[in-house]
Amino acid sequence: MIELPCQNFLFFILLLFHNLKTSSAIYKDAPQSRQLTAKSSGVAGSDTKELRLENICSGTSKQELYIHRDSSTVFTFNSSTPFTCHLELELFHVKGKYGFFVVFEEMHLSGTWPHKCGRDTVQFGRDNLIFDSFRSDKYCGVLDKLELKGDEKQFNKRVYKEDVDREMDIWINIPSRTSESRLTLTVTPYKKACSSDDSTYIPCYKDVNCHNNVTCLKEKSESICVKHDLFCDGRVNCPYQQGEAADENSELCYNLKGEAVPLALLIILLIFIGAAVIIIYIMITRFTVCGKRPRTTTSNAPQHVVPADELEMSFCNPTTPASPLNPPPYSEVMLNPLNPPDDPPRYCDIVKQSTDIIRQ
């Protein structure tokens, strides 16, 4: 009767200690989170963020990072100095069945790929309260930069999946060395299942439409689902299928983003803009009136009298035909069509006569 309350009390103490540690870590890292803001990868339409491990980890203390479920994170390391890092990644505000899909994009460490390791190691796992409940095999060796197409079996060796918990630990240990070490990890949150009417997540399957193919429908339903915006961004966020990354399949990308349609629309839009500019230019140059009267002013300031010859040049452009001041009425013209009246005086002649009268 005494042991049961003692066990409950011990469990309560451990749980309280874990909550206090987590709360202190959140408040402790809150100012740093603004300094460690991930930057965009620079790819159009991409939700991939990049973080340098050297800027995150310091010493042997664990760093807790919240990962948004709608974006993948690329962790990079490139240095010849000793380095030790313990990360705990946690999906931010997630409900439902989610996991982590980790891809080794590139690695240059000591040892032999994948698990014949010496001192340089990369390891994954998860914890239960304050104890580590699972640790994966250690990864090491040399991996060239990952291509979008390649052997499926070799690709599977580059992948680690955390499909049990929404938290994942990463231990990176690179002791003192003389050569430069490189490491690039892409961490993509995934949904374990998604419905056909879900527009935000897409199964990691190369065929968009299965057309009632039973095998296709079955494999598609068993595939993990990744955010729509992470497809066709130039990075591998899904497993390989038939020799290439499922999320970078050229036919899939064509169907998802319709690259030919925006290009055609862009060409048509440029043609319309060019035609509009030409029409506006013609209207401005064609219909601008050269014989525009100078503005009159009601102020008492002395007015400048323009010489007649300047008025004649400004109002009588030789290239522009003069228009009659007051054309005759229709009835006068029709009375004697064989002997039409003389042309009315030109506007510029009237202005010139008016100027001469003013001078006199």
How do the domains of the chain map onto residue ranges? Answer: 37-257, 308-359
What is the reported pTM? 0.61
CATH annotation of 37-257: 2.60.120.290
Cβ neighbours of 332 (radius 10 Å): 11
For residue 159, what pLDDT is reported? Answer: 95
End-to-end CA, the chain: 131
H/E stretch holding 214 reads helix 214-222
Q: Residue 237's beta-bridge partner residues?
A: none
Cβ neighbours of 273 (radius 10 Å): 10
Distance between CA atoms of residues 320 and 169, nearest Å: 84
Angle 347-359/308-315 helices, nearest 10 degrees? Answer: 170
For residue 173, what pLDDT is reported? Answer: 94
For residue 132, what pLDDT is reported? Answer: 87
For residue 139, what pLDDT is reported? Answer: 96
For residue 37, what pLDDT is reported? Answer: 42
Distance between CA atoms of residues 70 and 49, nearest Å: 11
Q: Residue 87's beta-bridge partner residues?
A: 63, 170
Residue 7 three-state SS: helix
Distance between CA atoms of residues 148 and 276, nearest Å: 43
Q: Tokens in use for 259?
A: 């690259």
From first to last of its 360 residues, the chain has per-residue pLDDT tens of 444 444 454 444 544 444 444 433 333 333 333 334 444 443 433 478 999 999 999 777 899 999 888 889 999 999 989 999 999 999 877 777 899 999 999 999 999 998 999 899 999 999 887 788 999 999 999 999 999 888 888 899 999 999 998 899 999 999 977 688 999 999 999 999 887 778 788 899 877 677 778 888 888 888 899 998 899 988 999 998 888 898 998 888 888 766 444 556 778 888 989 899 998 988 888 776 544 555 555 555 555 555 555 545 554 555 555 555 566 666 665 555 556 656 677 777 777 777 666 666
For residue 102, what pLDDT is reported? Answer: 97
Distance between CA atoms of residues 87 and 203, nearest Å: 28
Cα–Cα separations (whole angstroms), residue 355 to 231, 310, 317, 348, 350: 78, 11, 18, 10, 9
For residue 262, what pLDDT is reported? Answer: 55
Q: What are phi and psi of 43, to 5 degrees?
A: -85, 135
Please give the angle made by the CA atoms of 244, 246 and 252, to the nearest 5 degrees: 105
Please give the angle made by the CA atoms of 206, 207 and 211, to the nearest 5 degrees: 165
Q: Please, which residues have CB within 8 angstroms of residue 240's CB and are 6 or more apart in sequence? A: 150, 151, 152, 155, 156, 246
Please give the angle made by the CA atoms of 227, 114 and 89, to the nearest 5 degrees: 40
Distance from CA of residue 314 to its chain's centroid?
57
H/E stretch holding 90 reads strand 83-91
Cβ neighbours of 167 (radius 10 Å): 15
Q: Please, which residues have CB within 8 angstroms of residue 297's CB and are 6 or more apart in sequence? A: 303
Distance between CA atoms of residues 138 and 160, nearest Å: 11
Tell me the one-letter amino acid at 84: T
